A = this chain, B = another copy of it.
Amino acid sequence: MRMFLEPAKFAAASHCGVMGTVTFREEKAALLVLAAISLALITILSVWKLKKLKYRLVNETGGAMFYGMLLGVAVRYLRFDGVPLMENHSCTCPGLNSTPHLVMVNISSQTHCYRHVGEMNPKSSLDSTSHMETFDLDVLFNVFLPPIIFYGAYTLDQRRFIANLGSVLTFSFFGTLISCLCIGVCIYGVTRLMVLLGQAADGDYLLVDCLLFGAITSATDPVSILGLLSDLRVDLDLHTLLFGESVLNDAVAIVLTHAITTYDPKGAGHAFDPSAFLHSIGSFLGILLGSFCMGFLFTVMTALISFHPLPPRLNYNLTIRRNKFSRSTCPLLETSVVLLLSWSSFLSAKASGLSGIVAVLFCGLSQARYTILNVSEEGRSRTKQLFEVFSFLGEIFIYSYMGYILLTFPHHVFKALFISGAFLSIFISRACNIYPLSLLLNLGRTNKITCSFQHFMVFAGLRGAVAFSLAVRDTTTEAKRTILTTTLLLAGFTIWVLGAAADPLLHSLDIRMGEDSEEDSKDFSSEVAMRGPDTARGLWHNLDHKFLKPLLTHCGPPLTDLLPRWCGVFARIFSPPQIQEDEEEFCEIEPHTPPLNLDKTEHPPTPDDSGSEHRDDLLEGDLGLGTGPVNTSEPSVDASKIV
């Protein structure tokens, strides 16, 4: 997002007039990016090698963090050897000969931080190390995080996700709230203990700080959980529950964190301020809803664009007919449009003061449900592959940066008690979240969450990039620096230790492993077909099938049939030109589309893949609670015709 004018180096380079003497700064930037790229390459290759040797305990995230730490060590040693790398910080305007009209001054947050820390800890000897940081945080979180989140949401197994929607929403919404409160209270107890033991002053850690820490560490990390689950290939329902929860609780944790910081400046320390509290709750709900709507708005735009000018069949015919030399191919356009509009959802949310990550998350979820149906097969797989590469590289960059920061951030505050309290409280909070909610959910679910699943869910609370991004944004007070340090340690511990222990644990809990999504999806749909659709088709189903799908995709009955007569004009405008005559054909074509599973695409889509993302409507009345009685009056054939 660094889109502002700052081409000092060009002016300077051309001023010197010599190509061989490009400004030092440009070379330095190139060297730093090269270092980052080398790190990524080493990570990719060594993790690949380890996997080839069947050593599955380390995945990309853990490897990236490890190499980032190695780089951190190297940087610290280089500094201690007296090699002051990159110390000439003010040498950026060699072309500046007289006073310019305007000067743009950028103070890095690290510099900003020194000021504060310098006051408290003037003996700190690591000040110059932090200049070495490889990435602009801005680049990291505005360029690399959104594709990771988008890809996570986009590749969520829609069918199973909707089948478990109720449970996933419960865990991610109420679970995160419980977790935040629980951690906050535990940590507040710990900080009181620290005050008693004389390890902290009375005003150092406020309740708000503790709740902030709770909110930050409540976000379980989709990236590392996906890595873990995919490597182990656990039971697919467990997979959906854990991954769906981790994707959605990021949204809740991000908004919760902001709501808590909104509360912060109003309250005068310990005193409870009801109006500020209400304001925080309002901000929480407002931002969550606003970001949801923003994400959905961009899906609607993408769906309508992809719907009108690029109908799949026309596109297909064009592709066949068109000579290879022609540049105006549709899959490229489709991919570009989806990419640009999805990124716009992030930017628009940012521009309007909402949460970009949350918007892009909902955008990804809804793009996968609606837009995808309007896009050609080739366009689908290309969009997915594009986001896959972005997400893969982004996750490597973010995790190596986490490892790097862990060893080079000059103002870590290690409080043994706080850290041990945090380690304890994340397990306590996870238990308080999973067990009671599972108990409640099992009352309604036909397909119960078993005890071993619950144990594994408590265990698999890995923390990662989103928690780090929330913790690193503010390091102005000692409490917040303690939070950053502790969050980094928690992330490292959960990714390495819990990640490595997951395999033996799954064995001892006797949970199915080595699941095959394709075979399973057949079992799953036949099972569903036997159960038949639920009579209690709720609001969601009505909305999705009667309005959203006909409005946004080529599937479903034409709007003209669904809407009342007085909406005729509207219905005709929003119906695609050929929906009536082609509907039958579509319903035949649809099952052959490749599935949007959680796999990273491994082979080109073949028409034999069991594509069943549209059979989810069989299940939608269930909402994961399986409450309704089995009703076979609507045969499944009928349901598949609606798709």
A251 CB → nearest B CB, Å:
13
CA distance A104 to B91 in the complex (A): 8
0/1 per residue, A468-488, Cβ < 8 Å to B? 000011101000000000000
Which residue of the partner chain B has the closest CB to A320? B603
Indicate if the CB atoms of B136 and A2 lie closer than 8 Å: yes
Find residues 282-311 in chain A having any chain B CB closer than 8 Å to their own CB. Answer: 283, 287, 305, 309-310
Chain B residue numbers with a CB within 8 Å of A3 are 29, 32-33, 36, 134-136, 139
Q: Give the contact stretch, choosing among A16-24, A171-179, A492-500.
A: A16-24
Indicate if the CB atoms of A108 and B6 lie closer than 8 Å: yes
Indicate if the CB atoms of B114 and A283 lie closer than 8 Å: no
Chain B residue numbers with a CB within 8 Å of A602 are 319, 322, 324, 326, 329, 331, 378
Chain B residue numbers with a CB within 8 Å of A109 are 5, 7-8, 10-11
- A348-B34 CB under 8 A given contacts A51-B328, A108-B104, A327-B231: yes
Find residues 421-474 in chain A having any chain B CB closer than 8 Å to their own CB. Answer: 472-474
A351 CB → nearest B CB, Å:
4
Indicate if the CB atoms of B517 and A20 lie closer than 8 Å: no
A104 CB → nearest B CB, Å:
5
Chain B residue numbers with a CB within 8 Å of A227 are 327
Contact of A340 with B by CB under 8 A: yes
Q: Determine the main DSSP class of A at the interface with B.
A: helix
Indicate if the CB atoms of A332 and B518 lie closer than 8 Å: no
CA distance A131 to B5 in the complex (A): 8
Indicate if the CB atoms of B89 and A112 lie closer than 8 Å: no
Indicate if the CB atoms of A41 and B341 lie closer than 8 Å: yes
A611 CB → nearest B CB, Å:
13
Chain B residue numbers with a CB within 8 Å of A112 are 8, 11, 95-96, 100
- A19-B326 CB under 8 A given contacts A101-B118, A473-B13: no
Indicate if the CB atoms of B336 and A392 lie closer than 8 Å: yes
CA distance A135 to B139 in the complex (A): 15
Which residue of the partner chain B has the closest CB to A469? B10
Indicate if the CB atoms of B118 and A104 lie closer than 8 Å: no
0/1 per residue, A17-50, Cβ < 8 Å to B? 1111110011101111110111011001101110
Which residue of the partner chain B has the closest CB to A141? B10
0/1 per residue, A260-292, Cβ < 8 Å to B? 011011000000000000000001000100000
Indicate if the CB atoms of A283 and B19 lie closer than 8 Å: yes
Which residue of the partner chain B has the closest CB to A263? B17
Chain B residue numbers with a CB within 8 Å of A305 are 41, 45
Interchain residue pairs with CB less than 8 A apart (25): A1-B29, A2-B136, A3-B33, A11-B108, A13-B473, A14-B476, A17-B264, A19-B261, A27-B352, A34-B344, A34-B351, A40-B336, A41-B340, A44-B337, A93-B105, A104-B105, A104-B107, A230-B325, A320-B603, A325-B597, A325-B598, A329-B602, A332-B601, A385-B385, A604-B605
Point out residues on A near B: beta carbons under 8 Å. 1-11, 13-22, 25-27, 29-34, 36-38, 40-41, 44-45, 47-49, 51-52, 59-60, 89-90, 92-93, 95-96, 98, 100-115, 118, 127, 131, 133-139, 226-227, 229-231, 233, 258-259, 261-262, 264-265, 283, 287, 305, 309-310, 319-320, 322-329, 331-333, 335-337, 339-341, 343-344, 347-348, 350-353, 355, 378, 381-382, 385-386, 388-389, 392-393, 472-474, 476, 514-518, 597-605
Closest 6 CB pairs of A and B: A14-B474, A324-B599, A11-B109, A19-B258, A5-B108, A30-B351
A19-B283, A37-B343 known; 17 new pairs, CB 8 Å cut-off, are A3-B36, A5-B108, A8-B106, A14-B473, A18-B262, A19-B259, A19-B353, A26-B350, A37-B344, A41-B305, A44-B333, A45-B337, A320-B603, A332-B388, A339-B389, A378-B602, A378-B604
